[in-house]
């Protein structure tokens, strides 16, 4: 049974930083892509970043490129999202996700979701 346990959300002022963590367990993730999505109130869930477990290639939404960094710790089976220079528009519930679909940026192809955690950026 796959489990994705997230941590690190919270409240931060604009311009500040947060690091989100996602500890994955339950299977081997070598052929999967690890992703972060977010959903703001009244909005659809949107892609934020992805990392291919094998090879380590990374991908970002244009809105976060240059500010967010996705990374992994193989020994801990954990994926991180370092978020710098946060803006009020980054306020959302952030979700860790896993997919083996090449269209990793689409929420409908996600195989497993984390529980989600709130990130609030005050102005």
pLDDT tens readout for residues 42-65: 999 999 999 999 899 999 999 999
* Four-point Cα dihedral 95, 79, 69, 103, nearest 10: -60
Q: By the 8 A CB rule, do 10 and 18 touch? A: yes
pLDDT tier, 30 (very low <50, low <70, confident <90, very high otherwise): confident
Q: Left, alpha or beta for 69 (phi > 0: left; psi -120 to 50: alpha)?
A: beta
CA–CA dist 68, 61 (Å, integer):
9
pLDDT tens digits, residue range 71-104? Answer: 999 899 999 999 999 999 999 999 999 999 999 9
Instruction: Work out the pLDDT band at 22, boundaries 50, 70, 90.
Output: very high
How far apart, in Å, are the Cα atoms of 3 and each of 37, 67, 110? 16, 28, 14
Mean pLDDT of all residues belonging to the chain:
96
CB-count exposure of residue 50 (10 Å: 0-12, 13-18, 19+):
buried
Q: How high is the pLDDT of residue 28? A: 84
What pLDDT is attached to residue 29? 85
On whether the CB atoms of residues 48 and 64 are closer than 8 A, the answer is: yes
Q: State the pLDDT confidence band at 37, using cuts at 50, 70 and 90.
A: very high
């Amino acid at each position: 049974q796959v489990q994705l346990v997230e941590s690190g959300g919270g409240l931060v002022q604009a311009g500040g930083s947060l690091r989100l963590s996602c500890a994955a367990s339950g299977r081997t993730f070598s052929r999967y892509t690890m992703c972060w999505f977010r959903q703001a109130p009244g909005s659809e869930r949107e892609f934020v970043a992805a990392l291919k477990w094998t090879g380590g290639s990374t991908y970002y939404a244009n809105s976060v490129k240059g500010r967010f960094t996705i990374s992994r710790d193989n020994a801990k089976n954990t994926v991180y999202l370092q978020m710098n220079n946060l803006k009020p528009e980054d306020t959302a519930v952030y979700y860790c996700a896993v997919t083996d679909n090449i269209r990793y940026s689409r929420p409908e192809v996600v195989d497993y979701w984390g529980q989600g955690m709130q990130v609030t950026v005050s102005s």
